[in-house]
Amino acid sequence: MFKPVSIDFTLAAICLIAATSFAMDKTIPGEVTTPYPTITNLAVEWHIEGDDDEDGQVRLWYRQTGQDGWTEGMPLRRIPAGKSRTARRPFYWENRHSGSLFDLKPGTEYEIRLELKDPDGGGAERMVTASTRAVPRPAPDGRVIRVNARNFADSLIMAMPGDIFELAPGYYGDVTVRRSGKPGRPIVIRSDRSHRIINSTFDSFSFGGQQHVILDGVTVNGNVDLMRAAWCAVRYCTVNAKYGITATRPPGCRNCYIADNTVSYIMPWTSMGMGAGMTTGGAGSVGEGIQLTGPGNVICYNRVKGFRDCISFMEGLGTYRQVCIDVYNNDVSRGVDDGIEADFAQGNCRIMRNRLTNCFMGLSSQPGLGGPTYFIRNVMYNIIDNPYKLARETKGDVILHNSVVKVGDGFRVVHNPTRALFRNNLHVGGPGGGRFGKYGSGEGWAVWFPRTGAECDMDYDGVGLHGMKFRANVSGREYDDFDSFRKGTSEKHAVLVDMSVFDGDIAFPDPPVPEREPVNLLLKAGSAAVDAGAVIPGVNDHFGGKAPDLGAIELGEAPPHYGPRTRGVDEQSQWNAER
């Protein structure tokens, strides 16, 4: 016989369901970690449970240990647990708040104060310390051993930590290192630099999976292999090869420093060679300039030219812990597929202050696995297809203060990113669009972003066209004037721009072939891009005027240095000079 449920039991069940729901929205704070510090940046990750409604927020402040006063950093990004759906093997990531502190002093300990707030409960505060890495340098008391091509191999077998091998000019063939240095006492292999014309030249160079080894100032007409290396450095080298400096399968390399090198190949800048298209000779675009997998690697101040992908991470099954990787101040040109390919980034990868010229795609995130993947203050000129290739359901891209001038669509994103943040970028498109090989550049839309969703946060961007009437497509809806674009999208504070916002006589790159010379895209005083940005703590604190400017370079600031620096200049000396 049917028995009615008692009122007491029903109320208890309702209370239990409500309590369970409340518990899932409430944040349960977990461990705070600072994985894989780099030379100038620190990652901060606060692992959590709960917060299913994703309304928890974390602010943070930092200072050098022992100093007074705190500096606010960019709030951590909320990264819900998830997995990739478009990779051959699924990649998973954990529920957390995650973010980075930028442009810190090398070799320095920092205190970091975090404050978590959740309207549903679970707020907390934490204090942690973390240290940036020092720039790799020879031991000050290292034993200098002068060698030549005849005796180098035998001498290297007997290398001890701290030894500095000075190579006489000559031909050294293929070399593999079989000895490791120690922290503060690396093994250094360097040209003696006494001859300006004849250099120490290798057919290939392998670090042999060793640790604390520095290769300095040599020429390699073949591959530089960092596979399984750790805490190693490649500096001031000239590398001429189809595959330049690489570690292309798990476990890749970790905590390596690739700086101030010139890496070149011969891929031509032609319409038929772009993207995955075919060259006029019938061969597909090939070559990787600097291509690494593994955590904590720093790729900075290199000049990379003439590859399919100039600087790239690994994809799919070739990836290994692609976290906390820095790519900054590189001068990249003639990337006939991607200028910088940060595909399968897995958290706190930072692509900042690079100059990209004559690249089919500018910055690639195909996909980002949860994020955050930061693209900050990059200059892109004469890009063909997308300045941002945000593909394969990429998640967690943070795109701030970039400057773009290209044919066709200016702010062009043809794929479907989620949880992307766009602020203070500057995009100018215009005529010259059409087909290039198998692909196109768009037909001259100021904004072509037809597949954006509610989880993409876009505002304070400068958008417009050179010599064409404004039109935009966002989320599949078309706008034929700027006012309706601002009213109908999240870009409530966007500004209308064209080539007149730039100082000097900068030509619009139509036609884009043959290739163009690099430009810096400095702003003109009084233009629409000046004082038009949003304040972002830890990113644009030192702006001049009433508000931050749009684009990569603040009005009145000198452009960053792109490519190899003068010998003796590094992040430590730059920090001291700037402060």
Reading the block at residue 359, the tokens are 């690249």
pTM strictly above 0.75: yes
Name 86's Cβ contacts closer than 8 Å, sequence gap at least 6. 367, 392, 393
Is the domain spanning 25-131 CATH 2.60.40.10? The answer is yes
- The answer, yes or no, to whether the previous bond of 372 is cis (omega within 30 of 0) is yes
Sign of the alpha-carbon torsion through 571, 420, 489, 472:
positive
Quote the CA–CA distance of 568 and 579 in Å, as a whole number. 18
Q: Name the DSSP class of 121.
A: S
Question: What confidence score (pLDDT) does residue 459 get?
Answer: 98
Return per-residue pLDDT of the chain as tens, 579 residues: 334 333 343 444 444 444 444 448 999 999 999 999 999 999 999 999 999 999 999 999 999 999 999 999 999 999 999 998 776 788 999 999 999 999 999 999 999 999 999 999 999 999 999 999 999 999 999 999 999 999 999 999 999 999 999 999 999 999 999 999 999 999 999 998 776 667 899 999 999 999 999 999 999 999 999 999 999 999 999 999 999 999 999 999 999 999 999 999 999 998 888 876 544 444 568 899 999 999 999 999 999 999 999 999 999 999 999 999 999 999 999 999 999 999 999 999 999 999 999 999 999 999 999 999 999 999 999 999 999 999 999 999 999 999 999 999 999 999 989 999 999 999 999 999 888 877 889 999 999 999 986 689 999 999 999 999 999 999 999 999 999 999 999 999 999 999 999 999 999 999 999 999 999 999 999 999 999 999 999 999 999 999 999 999 999 999 999 999 999 899 988 888 876
- Name residue 147's beta-bridge partners: 167
How is 42-84 classified by DSSP, letter by letter? EEEEEEEEE-TT---EEEEEEEETT-SS-EEPPPPEEE--EE-
Beta carbons of 329 and 300 less than 8 angstroms apart: yes
Query: What is the CB neighbour count within 10 angstroms for residue 64?
Result: 14
Question: What confidence score (pLDDT) does residue 193 get?
Answer: 74
Question: What confidence score (pLDDT) does residue 454 get?
Answer: 66
Question: What confidence score (pLDDT) does residue 72 get?
Answer: 98
Question: What confidence score (pLDDT) does residue 434 get?
Answer: 84
- Of the candidates 155, 183, 150, 182, the one whose C-alpha atom is nearest the C-alpha of residue 169 is 150
Question: What confidence score (pLDDT) does residue 49 get?
Answer: 96
Question: What confidence score (pLDDT) does residue 9 get?
Answer: 39
Question: SS3 for 494?
Answer: coil
Query: What is the CB neighbour count within 10 angstroms for residue 573?
Result: 14
Quote the CA–CA distance of 499 and 570 in Å, as a whole number. 34
Reading the block at residue 319, the tokens are 């990836």
Question: What confidence score (pLDDT) does residue 16 get?
Answer: 40
pLDDT tens-place string over residues 195-211: 666 789 999 999 999 99
Instruction: Report domain extents, the chain.
Output: 25-131
Question: SS3 for 152?
Answer: helix
Tracing tokens 């042999």 back to the chain, one arrives at 208
Question: SS3 for 95?
Answer: coil
Question: What confidence score (pLDDT) does residue 15 get?
Answer: 42
Question: What confidence score (pLDDT) does residue 199 get?
Answer: 86
